[in-house]
């Protein structure tokens, strides 16, 4: 693979010399017949199809079920790099949890003027029903996916926080399982930390977050919107791996002041619900009355301390991209420390001066919806046509508060396997964090998402991106 790019390549650096984390793997890779590599790639695709590892893309009509492209070449991170990332992620997650408790209680950060009050009170993700509610163990963010990008050997940035219902962990686990099947010899020669105990860690973390009303071993269930949800495979996968029940709203009801689950022996109380249903649809008595996905009265039981819902209702406000721009202040306010991980410079289009700058530089910027996800509703200026920029300018002018803008970062690249050989493609990384009253666990790996198209900066699977296995090496 030639390195003619000015982007930092995680295997070849800036100058084309193999970097230390990749040295052992690169030596082994050069000994593998390219024909065998391509066959292994086809075998991996067949394995994913047999296993049913798919996701749904929502179009104008029905959802389209697709296979996520998987690349056989791992992304490798040294133990030293991972240790640094872990410290920064833990600091950020602690600050997010403290922030959520504060805005639903005393709102001291607003009183101190560190963030504008309108950013909370006018935010559609802020849940007034959570004001004054104390979640079991005071944990809001039980499961977090922190999206990171890299621009150089020692330059990492947080791209966004995912604390509402972070997805993708099943692909992290299946990617590793696939690599173990395809290349068992590599794992015997390269010291890679395991991610396979994530389901056990998740169950342990959820159990540790059970409400005080729980007597004995907590009963846990995964609440899914159903088979038509884009992440249904993951819901079923995690329930199966944890050995807990996968339920839909109609499987649950309130019985004698508890949330109970339908079983072959009647309704049995549940202590912890790992919900993959958005706030709006969680309880038709308290939120959207037309919801058929939730459980009538579950929020009343939660408010009374009778069940743990993970992640806590109202947590989604921490995913707000306008709020993201204040994260350095939030981290400093609640931890008393400077952030260990950098934010990407962000222009809030709700502010007139920022909007004027963004409108004048649209062709250079990435513009995102404040509540957007999955790569939808965004503009990548350098890749957009003049017509696309003009159309987006009209949307931006009509509703500036709905958007933020960021510079186009020179994202790092990692090699992928193509028909012509190895080629660099841009990546991001979503490490997964488990938070309980007792500890914070950052799984040594995460989901590497890769833009399969040459030059593309969009890694989302819904936009054609693929995934890679992420190797965190043992101690250097």
92-147 per-position pLDDT tens digit? 999 999 999 999 999 999 999 999 999 999 898 999 999 999 999 999 999 999 99
pLDDT tens-digit readout, 381-435: 998 999 999 999 999 999 999 999 999 999 999 999 998 889 999 999 999 999 9
Please give the sequence-ordered ranges of beta strands (E in DSSP) within 300-370, or none if there are none. Answer: 308-310, 342-343, 347-348, 365-369
Full set of structural domains in the chain with CATH: 20-211+307-342+409-472 (no CATH), 345-407 (3.30.1490.270)
Which residues, including other chains, have CB under 8 Å from residue 411's CB and lie 6 or more apart?
Answer: 7, 149, 150, 151, 426, 427, 428, 457
The single-letter DSSP state of residue 362 is G
What is the pLDDT of the chain when averaged over all its residues?
92
Which CA distances in Å does 32 have to 35, 36, 175, 358, 397?
9, 7, 20, 48, 54
Residue 456 scores a pLDDT above 80: yes
pTM exceeding 0.85: yes
What pLDDT was estimated at residue 2? 44
CB atoms within 10 A of CB 378: 17
Kindly report the CA angle at 294 between 289 and 296, in degrees rounded to 5?
65
Both tokens of 219, joined, read 């009963």
Encode pLDDT of 232-243 as tens digits: 989 999 999 999
The answer, yes or no, to whether residue 284 has pLDDT greater than 60, is yes
Average pLDDT over residues 317-343: 96
CA distances to 293, 365, 462 from 305, in Å: 22, 46, 38
Residue for token digits 């309130």? 254
Residue 137 to residue 434: CA distance in whole angstroms: 14
* pLDDT, mean of residues 81-100: 97
- How does strand 252-255 pair with strand 258-263? antiparallel
Tens digit of pLDDT for each residue in 50-67? 877 665 554 444 445 667
Give the Cα separation of 251 and 84 in Å (integer).
Answer: 43
The predicted pLDDT at position 465 comes to 86
């Amino acid at each position: 693979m030639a390195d003619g790019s000015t982007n930092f390549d995680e295997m070849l650096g800036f100058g084309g010399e193999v970097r230390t984390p990749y040295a052992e793997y690169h030596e082994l890779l050069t000994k593998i017949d390219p024909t065998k590599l391509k066959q292994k790639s086809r075998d991996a695709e067949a394995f994913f199809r047999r296993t049913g590892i798919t996701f749904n893309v929502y179009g104008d009509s029905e959802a389209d079920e697709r296979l996520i492209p998987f690349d056989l070449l791992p992304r490798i991170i040294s133990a030293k790099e991972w240790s640094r990332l872990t410290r920064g992620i833990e600091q950020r997650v602690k600050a997010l949890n403290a922030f959520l408790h504060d805005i639903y209680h005393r709102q001291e950060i607003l009183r101190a003027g560190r963030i504008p009050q309108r950013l909370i009170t006018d935010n559609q993700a802020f849940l007034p029903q959570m004001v004054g509610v104390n979640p079991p163990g005071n944990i809001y963010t039980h499961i977090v996916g922190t999206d990171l990008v890299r621009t150089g050997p020692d330059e990492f940035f947080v791209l966004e926080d995912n604390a509402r219902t972070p997805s993708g962990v099943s692909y992290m686990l299946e990617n590793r399982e696939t690599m173990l099947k395809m290349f068992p010899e590599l794992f015997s020669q390269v010291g890679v930390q395991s991610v396979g105990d994530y389901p056990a860690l998740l169950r342990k973390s959820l159990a540790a977050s059970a409400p005080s009303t729980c007597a004995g071993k907590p009963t846990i269930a995964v609440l899914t919107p159903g088979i038509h949800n884009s992440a249904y495979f993951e819901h079923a996968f995690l329930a199966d791996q944890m050995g807990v029940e996968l339920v839909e709203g109609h499987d649950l009801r309130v019985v004698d002041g508890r949330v109970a689950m339908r079983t072959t022996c009647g309704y049995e109380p549940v202590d912890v619900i790992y919900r993959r249903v958005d706030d709006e649809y969680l309880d038709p008595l308290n939120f959207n009355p037309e919801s058929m996905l939730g459980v009538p009265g579950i929020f009343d039981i939660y408010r009374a301390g009778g069940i743990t819902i993970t992640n806590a209702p109202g947590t989604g406000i921490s995913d707000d991209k306008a709020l993201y721009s204040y994260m350095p202040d939030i981290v400093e306010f609640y931890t008393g420390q400077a952030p260990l991980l950098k934010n990407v410079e962000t222009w809030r289009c709700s502010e007139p001066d920022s909007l004027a700058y963004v409108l004048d530089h649209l062709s250079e910027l990435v513009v995102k919806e404040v509540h957007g996800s999955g790569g939808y509703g965004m503009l990548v200026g350098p890749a957009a046509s003049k017509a696309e920029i003009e159309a987006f300018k009209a949307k931006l002018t009509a509703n500036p508060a709905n958007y933020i803008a960021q510079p186009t970062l020179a994202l790092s690249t990692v090699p992928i396997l193509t028909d012509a050989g190895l080629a660099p493609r841009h990546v991001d990384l979503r490490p997964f964090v488990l938070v309980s009253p007792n500890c914070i666990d950052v799984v040594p790996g995460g989901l590497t998402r890769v833009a399969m198209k040459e030059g593309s900066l969009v890694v989302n699977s819904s936009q054609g991106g693929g995934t890679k296995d992420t190797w965190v090496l043992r101690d250097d």
